């Protein structure tokens, strides 16, 4: 192993350690690692930037801008109140309804944005019912990661995989949609056994829910109508992007730009709401993994994996599925997938059929994020929402529910992939 390889591994390891321990802000840790790769001449800056997947960055920025405008219409508050009233204040029905809403929105927006919108509304509804919102928040974390698995834009790892493997929105829905629906119903049955008997409220609290007026949640009806129309066109664009040959990032950014033009919102306020730290984090990670690629470490790992499995596609697929799931439980799935993508591309260059490996990576990384409270960005975001409102979700309490459910979903995914491939 050469000096450059040792330096690259040390930089990568220090960044991962900083992210796992949360001693340093993950954006600062990743940016520091990217700069060290350049300063130690592992790769020049222009080569580092060539490793950045700007399609992924474009999709993230586009969807963040779009949602920042849409949320000012009051659409999401309307959905939450309307749902709670339709459930007639029954806490179990509300929990199930919010699970479905979280899963669906996580598939068509992205799971981080979804939990930021649904979390605060959940706390308001449970406060009216005089219930602890933590069980609701835990089920929404799990639902967001499962729902986000189904589409190209649902979970950041999928955006990265779709861009690297040239997979369309439709490819994700067709290949992962069926198993995601199955998993969602399985976890709802699990939640019934875990939480069902604990969700008891007085009739007076149910009446308080029924007295709410969802129409008052709509702050801007014109913006609401515009948002729904543009959202339909964005989803249509994602579905057809492989046919019309327009990158998913261009579709997302076009939808966002149209909303900025017709939404009549404060542009500076919308731009300020973008999670720029997340964008910098992504760019920095791409450069760090690019450094590992440039010194040949990714190629060595790919060769080792092929030799270990003797090129058996099913065995390779299952190893990637389970490693992705376990590692993504304890390490944010974004840096892990950023490392895995060039490895799979290298295996493809060596003659391996990698199509099953992309789906194994997506299922493993997205579902693995449910294993612990630090497994995915959505988990951390929703835990912060709970903490801010005085309802902390502890690592231990979440682990007791999340990890067994994660293992169950990976077992089902294993059976699904074997039957499919």
> How does pLDDT run across 367-401, given as a tens digit for each residue?
999 998 878 878 877 887 888 888 988 888 899 99
144 pLDDT above the threshold of 70: yes
At CA 292, angle to CA 291 and CA 298, rounded to 5?
A: 145
Contacting residues for 7 by C-beta, under 8 A, at least 6 apart: 40, 42
Mean pLDDT is lowest, of 11-25, 89-103, 131-145, 252-266, for 11-25
Q: What percent of the chain has pLDDT over 70?
A: 100
* pLDDT at residue 67 in the model: 84
Does residue 275 carry a pLDDT above 80?
A: no
Q: What is the pLDDT of residue 101?
A: 93
pLDDT digits (tens, 9 = 90+) for 296-313: 887 787 778 778 887 788
Segment 164-171 long-range contacts (CB within 8 Å, at least 24 positions apart): 164/53, 164/341, 164/344, 164/345, 165/344, 165/354, 165/358, 167/358, 168/238, 168/239, 168/241, 168/242, 169/235, 169/238, 169/239, 169/241, 169/248, 170/239, 170/242, 171/242
What angle do helix axes 91-108 and 111-128 make, rounded to 10 degrees? 160
Residues of the chain with pLDDT > 90, as a percent, come to 43
Q: Which of 193, 156, 419 has its CA nearest to residue 282?
A: 156
pLDDT at 20 over 80: no
Short-list 22, 43, 26, CA closest to 334: 26
Please give the C-alpha separations between residue 31 and each of 37, 104, 142, 298, in angstroms, as whole numbers. 10, 33, 29, 21
CA distances from 118 to 95, 104, 263, 278, 396 (A): 12, 12, 22, 20, 23
Q: 49 vs 298, which has greater pLDDT? A: 49
pLDDT digits 0-9 by tens, 90-132: 999 999 999 999 999 999 877 777 887 888 889 989 988 889 9
Query: What per-residue confidence (pLDDT) applies to 197?
Result: 82
What are the tokens at 46?
């222009």
pLDDT of 234-247, one tens digit each? Answer: 888 888 877 888 88
State the Cα–Cα distance between residues 26 and 32, nearest whole angstrom. 10
Mean of the per-residue pLDDT values of the chain: 89
Task: Supply 106's token pair.
Answer: 């996580």
In the predicted structure, residue 149 carries a pLDDT above the cut 90:
yes
pLDDT of residue 332 exceeding 70, the answer is: no
* pLDDT at 206 exceeding the cut of 90: no
Q: What is the mean pLDDT of residues 208-227?
A: 89
* pTM of the entire predicted model: 0.81
């Amino acid at each position: 192993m050469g000096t450059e390889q040792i330096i690259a591994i040390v930089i990568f390891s220090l960044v991962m350690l900083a992210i796992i321990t949360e001693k340093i802000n993950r954006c600062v840790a990743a940016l520091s690692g990217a700069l060290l790769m350049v300063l130690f001449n592992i790769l020049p800056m222009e080569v580092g930037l060539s490793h950045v997947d700007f399609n992924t960055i474009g999709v993230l920025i586009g969807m963040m801008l779009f949602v920042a405008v849409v949320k000012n219409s009051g659409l999401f508050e309307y959905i939450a109140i309307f749902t709670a009233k339709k459930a007639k204040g029954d806490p179990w029905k509300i929990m199930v309804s919010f699970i479905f809403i979280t899963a669906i929105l996580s598939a068509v927006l992205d799971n981080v944005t979804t939990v930021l919108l649904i979390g605060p509304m959940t706390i308001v509804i449970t406060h009216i019912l005089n219930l602890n919102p933590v069980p609701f928040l835990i089920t929404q974390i799990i639902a967001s990661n499962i729902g986000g698995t189904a589409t190209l834009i649902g979970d950041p790892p999928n955006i990265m995989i779709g861009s690297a493997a040239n997979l369309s929105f439709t490819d994700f829905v067709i290949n992962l949609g069926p198993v995601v629906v199955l998993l969602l119903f399985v976890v709802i049955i699990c939640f019934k056994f875990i939480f069902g008997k604990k969700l008891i409220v007085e009739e007076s609290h149910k009446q308080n829910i029924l007295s709410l007026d969802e129409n008052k949640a709509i702050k801007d009806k014109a913006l609401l109508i515009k948002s729904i129309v543009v959202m339909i066109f964005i989803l249509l664009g994602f579905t057809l992007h492989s046919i019309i040959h327009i990158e998913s990032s261009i579709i997302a950014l076009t939808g966002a730009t149209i909303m900025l033009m017709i939404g009549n919102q404060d542009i500076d306020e919308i731009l300020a709401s973008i999670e720029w730290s997340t964008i910098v984090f992504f760019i920095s990670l791409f450069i760090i993994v690019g450094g590992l690629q440039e010194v040949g470490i990714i190629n060595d790992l790919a060769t080792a994996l092929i030799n270990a499995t003797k090129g058996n596609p099913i065995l390779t697929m299952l190893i990637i599925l389970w490693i992705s799931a376990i590692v993504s439980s304890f390490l944010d799935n974004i840096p892990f997938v950023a490392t895995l993508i060039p490895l799979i591309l290298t295996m493809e260059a060596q003659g391996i059929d990698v199509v099953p490996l992309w789906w194994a990576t997506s299922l493993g990384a997205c579902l693995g994020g449910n294993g612990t409270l630090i497994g995915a960005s959505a988990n951390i975001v929703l835990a912060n929402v709970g903490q801010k409102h005085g309802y902390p979700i502890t690592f231990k309490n979440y682990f007791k529910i999340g990890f067994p459910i994660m293992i169950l979903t990976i077992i089902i995914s294993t059976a699904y992939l074997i039957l499919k491939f």
